[in-house]
Amino acid sequence: MQHRSKRALVAILAWAMICVAGYFGYQYLLNQQFARAEEQRTQAQAGLASIQDLSTAFRQVGKIVEPTVVNIQVTRKAPIARRQMDPDLLRRFFRENEGDLQLPPDFEIPDDELSPEQIGTGSGVIVEYSGGKGYILTNNHVAGGAESFEITLNDGRKFRNVKVLGTDPKTDLAVIEMPADRLATAKWGNSDDVKQGDWILAFGSPFGYVGSMTHGIVSALHRQAGIITGGYENFIQVDAPINPGNSGGPLVNLRGEVIGINTAIASRDGGFQGIGFAIPSNQAKFVYAQLKEKGKVVRGWLGVRITDVAEELKVAKSYHYEGNTGVIVEDIMPGTPARGKLQPGDIITKIKGKEVANTQELRNAIAAIPPGTQINMDVFRNGKQQELSIKLGEQPENVATIRRGRGGQPAPGETSNLSTLGIQVMTLTSELADRRGLDIKAGALITKVDRNSLAAREGLRPGDVITEIGNTAVNSAEDLGSALQKADLKKGVRLYVTTPQGSRFVFLSTER
């Protein structure tokens, strides 16, 4: 009996110890959970502090930039067709039925169809102050063609005695001079340092609300939106709200530096839909300096017709070029800096040591270099890379006028039937070349192109002259026929084709 009592006592003690251990264990677990909850609260508070720090940064940037931003109100005669456009004449393009519709920036109608007056509003940024004068950078579509101005500063002062020093439709920029005192100036930033995902702030006067600021991120870089006909587009794409009246205002980074000039939006209904475009500050700074000094922009010039490697990969590969980026030289304009330096079939890969991906990058790079500058250019030629040195010329006012000559119809004559390609050709004569306004004297002149043929699909037309097939010169219709007999059309052949408007490469293959 005594033995049983001892065992019961031991069991009771063991159970009591288990209960006590369980209690303290439970308390420990509760304490651990509480500690984790407290840690999470602390982290959340730290996160809120970080967000507050960002808000503080936004406020500080506003204090730095806002005094440099101006509201620009203009009056101009306006076409009746444009009366319903938004006040700042902000360029937009709309997508409808799978096609882009755009009012051309050079649209004109007779003066008797102009309305008496149109009032528009936009923005600008003071980028320089010297000699009692402030210099404002804005958009050409804000200031260009204006008959009168009223500029309102952040402190409420208004100025009407202003002068447009110059406009540049090719980049949609303009510079205004304004006599004034006590002006704050913006600080330039380096747009080459801008990266996708960077925080940005956009300033301006949307819908006339002076002193507005919006924020967002950089959505993309090097955008070509097809907004500036024949111009130089290299836009920064942002998602910061940009509305009518923001045109010409600055786009800045979190240091308050100007990295772009707000210019346009992409929209289906005319309102902001998350895609805005700004001109990079490095491009704007180059244009500003020239407009202020000369009243116009003087650009470097090569004098070549070019196409993207990415669009003509078969042509590039026919030269044994393995890359996917670069620019193919298709033609050299007569009397230009590239004459005697570059040649058709060259693939330009770098300018001044910097890679060139496409024609837009090449055009922008050359245009931003002063005429007379000797530049180094990397070119793929004859199966290997080589470096050329070329002295740039000055871009003519109208590049489109520099062509090979007039048109004309080919005369009838004996033809060689090339049924595989779907063309008929004849040997080019000096008389035919003169009549066509061509500066070549030999080749195979296309006299007929069959509908839906291989040649028609690749854009060959009667009057085109084939001067090369692969690396072989074509001096006659017989030369072309002989070369085609040896060619493997399944692998494809590269033709060099000349017209009065210039020359280009065409790649023909029976395998699609």
To the question of pTM greater than 0.85 for the whole model, the response is: no
Q: Is residue 486 part of a domain?
A: yes
Instruction: Give the range among 29-38, 210-219, 474-483 with minimum mean pLDDT.
Output: 29-38
Q: At 327, is the secondary structure helix, strand, or coil?
A: strand
Which pLDDT score, from 0 to 100, does residue 459 have?
85
505, 497 in Cβ contact below 8 A? yes
Distances 111 to 80, 108, 116, 119, 485 between C-alpha atoms, Å: 10, 9, 10, 17, 61
Residue 377 counted as domain residue: yes
Using DSSP's 3-state secondary structure scheme, residue 87 falls into: coil
- pLDDT tens digits, residue range 382-410? 889 999 999 998 888 655 544 433 333 33
Same domain, 153 and 103: yes
Question: 442 and 471 in contact (C-beta within 8 Å)?
Answer: no
| Ordered DSSP codes for 412-474 | P---EEETTTTEEEEE--HHHHHHHT-S---SEEEEEE-TTSHHHHTT--TT-EEEEETTEE-
pLDDT (mean) for 315-334: 87
Q: What mean pLDDT is predicted for residues 362-386? A: 91
Tell whether 284 and 388 lie within a shared domain: no
The verdict on residue 328 lying in a domain is yes
Q: How far apart are CA 82 and CA 241, in angstroms?
A: 24
Residue-level pLDDT at 241? 86
The catalytic residue positions are 141, 172, 247
Total tally of structural domains belonging to the chain: 3
Is the same domain home to 270 and 308?
A: no
* Residue bearing tokens 């871009």: 395
SS3 of residue 241 by DSSP: coil
Examine residue 236 and state whether it is found in any structural domain, yes or no: yes
Q: What is the pLDDT of residue 164?
A: 94
Domain limits for position 481: 416-508
261: Cα separation from own chain's centroid: 13
Whether residue 118 is found in the same domain as residue 196: yes
Cα distance between residue 357 and residue 350, in whole Å: 9
Instruction: Give the three-state DSSP class for 127.
Output: strand
pLDDT in tens, 55-64: 888 889 999 9
> Can you tell me the distance from the alpha carbon of 281 to that of 262, in angstroms, rounded to the nearest whole number?
10
Which helix (H) or strand (E) segment holds residue 30: the answer is helix 2-65
Residue 469: pLDDT above 50? yes
Confidence band for 28, pLDDT divided at 50, 70 and 90:
confident
Whether residues 69 and 210 share a domain: the answer is yes
**Same domain for 317 and 452?**
no
Whether residue 458 is contained in a domain is answered as yes
304 and 272 in a common domain: no
Calculated CA dihedral for residues 255, 201, 278, 122, nearest 10 degrees: -120
Whether the per-residue pLDDT at 97 is higher than 80: the answer is no
Please say whether the beta carbons of 227 and 202 come within 8 A: no
For residue 449, the domain's CATH number is 2.30.42.10
Residues 504/464, Cβ–Cβ less than 8 Å: no
Give the CATH number for residue 146: 2.40.10.120
Residue 125 confidence (pLDDT): 96
Domain end call among 295, 312, 340? 295
pLDDT at 23 over 50: yes
Same domain as 328, residue 268: no
DSSP track, 364-416: HHHHTS-TT-EEEEEEEETTEEEEEEEE-EEPPS-GGG--S----PPPP---E
The one-letter amino acid code at 463 reads G
Higher pLDDT, 3 or 213: 213
- How far is CA 106 from each of CA 144, 168, 169, 229, rounded to the nearest angstrom? 12, 13, 10, 9
Q: What is the pLDDT of residues 120-164, one digit of tens each?
A: 889 999 999 999 999 999 999 999 888 889 999 988 999 999 999
Side-chain-side CA neighbours of residue 118 (13 Å): 22
For residues 91 and 169, state if they share a domain. Answer: yes
The residue among 427 and 221 whose pLDDT is bigger is 221
Residue 62 resides in a domain: yes
- Give yes or no: residues 316 and 287 share one domain: no
* Same domain for 350 and 282: no
Q: Which region among 12-16, 79-83, 248-252, 415-419 has the lowest average model confidence (pLDDT)?
A: 79-83
- Residue 26 lies inside a defined structural domain of this protein: no
Name the percent of the chain lying above pLDDT 90.
Answer: 34
pLDDT score recorded for residue 105: 38
pLDDT in tens, 170-211: 999 999 999 999 999 999 999 999 999 999 999 998 887 888
pLDDT at 272: 67
The residue from 401, 436, 461 where one domain ends is 401
Of the three residues 295, 315, 332, the one that is the final residue of a domain is 295
Task: Evaluate if residue 231 carries a pLDDT over 90.
Answer: no
Does one domain contain both 375 and 426? no
* In contact, 125 and 48? CB cutoff 8 Å: no
Task: Please determine, for residue 226, whether its predicted confidence score (pLDDT) is greater than 90.
Answer: no
Q: What is the dihedral of CA 10, 14, 15, 16, to 10 degrees?
A: 100
What phi-psi label fits residue 131: left (phi over 0), alpha (psi between -120 and 50 degrees) or beta? left
In a domain, 39, yes or no: no
Give the residue among 482, 489, 411 at the shortest CA–CA distance from 455.
Answer: 489
